[in-house]
Amino acid sequence: MKRICRAVMFFQYGGADVLRLAEHEVPDPGAGQVRIAVRAAGVNPVDWKIRSGAMAELMPVGFPAVPGVDMAGVVECVGPDVTAFAIGDEVFGKAAAGSYTELALANLDAIAAKPEAVSWEVAAALPVVGTTAYHVLARLGLKQGETILIDGAAGGVGTVAVQLAGHRGLAVIGTAGHRNHDYLRSLGAIPVTYGDGLPDRVRAVAARGVDAAVDAAGHGSLPALIELTGGPDHVITIADPSAESLGVRFAYGEPDDMPGILGELATLVATGTITVPIARTYPLADAADAHRESQTGHVCGKLVLAPI
């Protein structure tokens, strides 16, 4: 039986004002799927980039569209072949077709069990930033004792990447504005200010140099990161579309074994090894305001929507 629920939708590309709260029909889960009663949905910069049309060539959508990927909630219906989860199980991960909604479909290969010790908001904030940080560090392949520079370290992906890198025995230098330097120190990173003159400021705190760098901001730092690491092969970006012209790898695609990675990340959060600060929680109806705040580029931590 198909279900009707409230969902944030957009019917054309544009600014935050194109988002509307409307009734949405959610189909029954198919093979390898579950339907989830969403308790919280994470907001990521890619959400408003897709909504604006900036990602239309790379990630086109069919209208009307429900934004969002990250979610956490309770399984309320399972597909005909599903045995891994049962009705009532608490899960988190990535929605199959939008997460800004009261009910969302998810594929089994994109969700994991939510530990009791992890709140709905934190669980919903973790999937995209956590798996992206995990994927980027895996592709760089650094060894314990080496040094990584993370540009845009106070953002969502940066926050998790700093902590994952430190957990793996890497020395971490992170860029942020002055107001977020204490925050980066609390995560275990050596803070430096981003912007012009970055190489000199990094060299002043990196006695043995920098082995690799991650651009998590997309603010034009790639030439400086290449200079600091000795070549484009040691740099990876999640945000700068000019990467290819500079020979820098652009991180895209999903990591293998997402349920396993999500489970590992959730355990690290549940044990306090990694924290995912929640900057603000908005009602579902205020998704446009959440997008506007995200677009400022100054959010420290994660923004979350609470459908109920």
pLDDT, tens digit (0-9, with 9 covering 90-100), for 13-64: 999 999 999 998 888 999 999 999 999 999 999 999 999 998 888 889 999 9
Residue that the structure tokens 């204490």 belong to: 182
With H, G, I as helix, E, B as strand and everything else as coil, classify residue 304. Answer: strand
* Interatomic CA distance for residues 226 and 21, integer angstroms: 44
Strand partners, 304: 42, 281
DSSP 179: G
Average pLDDT over residues 241-261: 85
Q: Enter the tokens of residue 290.
A: 């959440």
Q: Enter the tokens of residue 139.
A: 């592709």
Whether the predicted pLDDT of 8 surpasses 90? yes
* Interatomic CA distance for residues 293 and 272, integer angstroms: 27
- Residue 156 to residues 52, 136, 294: CA-CA distances in angstroms? 20, 14, 11
Buried b (16+ CB within 10 A) or exposed e, 174-190: bbbeeebbebbeebebb
Query: In this predicted structure, what is the pLDDT of residue 305?
Result: 98
CB 150 within 8 A of CB 174: yes
* Interatomic CA distance for residues 96 and 151, integer angstroms: 30
pLDDT tens profile 63-89:
999 999 999 999 999 999 899 999 999
Question: What strands lie across the sheet with 212-215, from one edge to the other?
Answer: 190-192, 171-175, 147-151, 212-215, 235-237, 249-250
Whether the predicted pLDDT of 172 surpasses 70? yes
Query: In this predicted structure, what is the pLDDT of residue 308?
Result: 63
* Interatomic CA distance for residues 239 and 246, integer angstroms: 14
* Interatomic CA distance for residues 74 and 113, integer angstroms: 10
Whether the predicted pLDDT of 1 surpasses 70? no
227 pLDDT band (50/70/90 cuts)? very high
